[in-house]
């Protein structure tokens, strides 16, 4: 449990720092990445030509190969798990008169999970909330998104410390596990509730009237253009292969 929490905290932190380091003028906008990912997943999902999905898979693998080893792991791990799960769950269908489902669903699952993992690796949670802002979602939604990430970080640290404390005290008592879970979650919740209340007061002290905006502006750059060009190629390729298959 706490190792999972620590990983979560570490991810939120690295996302934050890497956003700082990377020059935003050279990176694609979060909204462009997100919409392109969406487009790609839809096309793959609709496609009836296995060539299309194979080519996308190849392109994704190629882009993964340009990443750092650490990033590769965080992309491939969820992908492999999803693929294994998809293969396992669709395998019986092969004996039920739907044999191709196994390969199509498994391949498409590999494609979509890898794609989202790559986008997540490139974008991080900051890109995500910024994408939400540039897609004009309501302030309330964006604020909730930011607050959630912040509390994941704060409460994650808190819960990890508490779990550690509980496990240090845990000598031979049998029912600690259940009691510990309820207590840790309950205490974490109470802490978060107090924090949220003080947050609200701090906001009121700064004249909060529901406005929640960011000064961050993304400047249209070459990477955005390249991603959009790739989207166009993708659509043309899709149409061509779809006609060829028909």
Q: Applying CB under 8 A, does 95 fall inside the site for other proteins?
A: yes
Angle between helices 99-134 and 2-21 (to 10 degrees): 60
Helix, coil or strand: residue 21: helix
Enter the tokens of residue 23.
């020059």
Judged by beta carbon, residue 184 or residue 225, the one nearer other proteins is 184
Query: Cβ of residue 168: shortest distance to other proteins, in angstroms?
Result: 18
Contact 110, 82 (CB under 8 A): yes
Tell me which of 36, 122, 188, 224 binds other proteins, using CB under 8 A. 188
DSSP character for 26? T
Q: CA distances (Å), 231 to each of 3, 23, 175, in order?
A: 39, 23, 56
**To which residue do tokens 């990033």 refer?**
71
d(CA 119, CA 67): 12
Tell me which of 29, 123, 162, 234 binds other proteins, using CB under 8 A. 123
Tell me which of 169, 173, 186, 233 binds other proteins, using CB under 8 A. 186
Looking at 164-172, 198-206, 218-226, 227-235, which segment touches other proteins (CB under 8 A)? Answer: 198-206
Judged by beta carbon, residue 213 or residue 219, the one nearer other proteins is 213
- Report how many residues bind other proteins under the rule CB under 8 A: 136
d(CA 91, CA 162): 43
Query: Cβ of residue 80: shortest distance to other proteins, in angstroms?
Result: 11
Q: Applying CB under 8 A, does 117 fall inside the site for other proteins?
A: yes
Q: CA distances (Å), 106 to each of 62, 71, 89, 100, in order?
A: 19, 23, 9, 10
Q: According to CB under 8 A, which residues from 133 to 172 bind other proteins?
A: 138, 140-141, 143-156, 159
Query: Cβ of residue 120: shortest distance to other proteins, in angstroms?
Result: 5
What would the x/- binding string for other proteins be over residues 52 to 71, using CB under 8 A? -xxx-xxx-xx-xxxxxxx-
d(CA 231, CA 112): 15
Tell me which of 25, 46, 225, 239 binds other proteins, using CB under 8 A. 46
First to last CA, the chain: 50
Query: Cβ of residue 57: shortest distance to other proteins, in angstroms?
Result: 7
What would the x/- binding string for other proteins be over residues 205 to 224, using CB under 8 A? xxxxxxxxxxxx--------
d(CA 101, CA 200): 51
Judged by beta carbon, residue 12 or residue 228, the one nearer other proteins is 12
Query: Cβ of residue 144: shortest distance to other proteins, in angstroms?
Result: 4
User: Mind giving me the DSSP string for 155-216?
Assistant: HHHHHHHHHHHHHHH-SS-STHHHHHHHHHHHHHHHHHHHHHHHHHHHHHHTT--S------
What would the x/- binding string for other proteins be over residues 72 to 91, using CB under 8 A? xx--x-xx--x---x---x-
């Amino acid at each position: 449990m706490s190792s999972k929490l620590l990983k979560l905290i570490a991810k939120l932190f690295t996302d934050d720092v890497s956003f700082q380091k990377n020059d935003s003028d050279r990176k694609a906008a979060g909204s462009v990445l997100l919409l392109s990912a969406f487009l790609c997943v839809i096309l793959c999902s609709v496609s009836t030509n296995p060539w299309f999905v194979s080519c996308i898979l190849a392109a994704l693998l190629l882009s993964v190969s340009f990443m750092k080893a650490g990033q590769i792991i965080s992309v491939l791990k969820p992908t492999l798990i999803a693929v294994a799960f998809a293969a396992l769950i669709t395998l019986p269908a092969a004996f039920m008169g739907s044999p191709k489902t196994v390969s199509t669903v498994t391949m498409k699952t590999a494609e979509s999970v890898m794609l989202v993992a790559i986008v997540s690796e490139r974008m991080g949670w900051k890109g995500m909330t910024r994408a939400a802002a540039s897609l004009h979602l309501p302030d309330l939604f964006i604020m909730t998104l930011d607050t959630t990430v912040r509390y994941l970080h704060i409460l994650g640290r808190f819960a990890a410390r508490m779990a550690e404390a509980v496990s240090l005290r845990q000598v031979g008592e049998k029912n600690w596990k259940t009691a510990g879970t309820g207590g840790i979650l309950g205490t974490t919740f109470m802490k978060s509730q107090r924090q949220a209340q003080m947050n609200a007061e701090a906001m009121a002290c700064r004249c909060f009237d529901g406005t929640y905006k960011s000064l961050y502006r993304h400047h249209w750059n070459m990477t955005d253009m390249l991603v959009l060009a790739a989207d166009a190629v993708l659509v043309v390729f899709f149409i061509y292969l779809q006609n060829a298959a028909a």
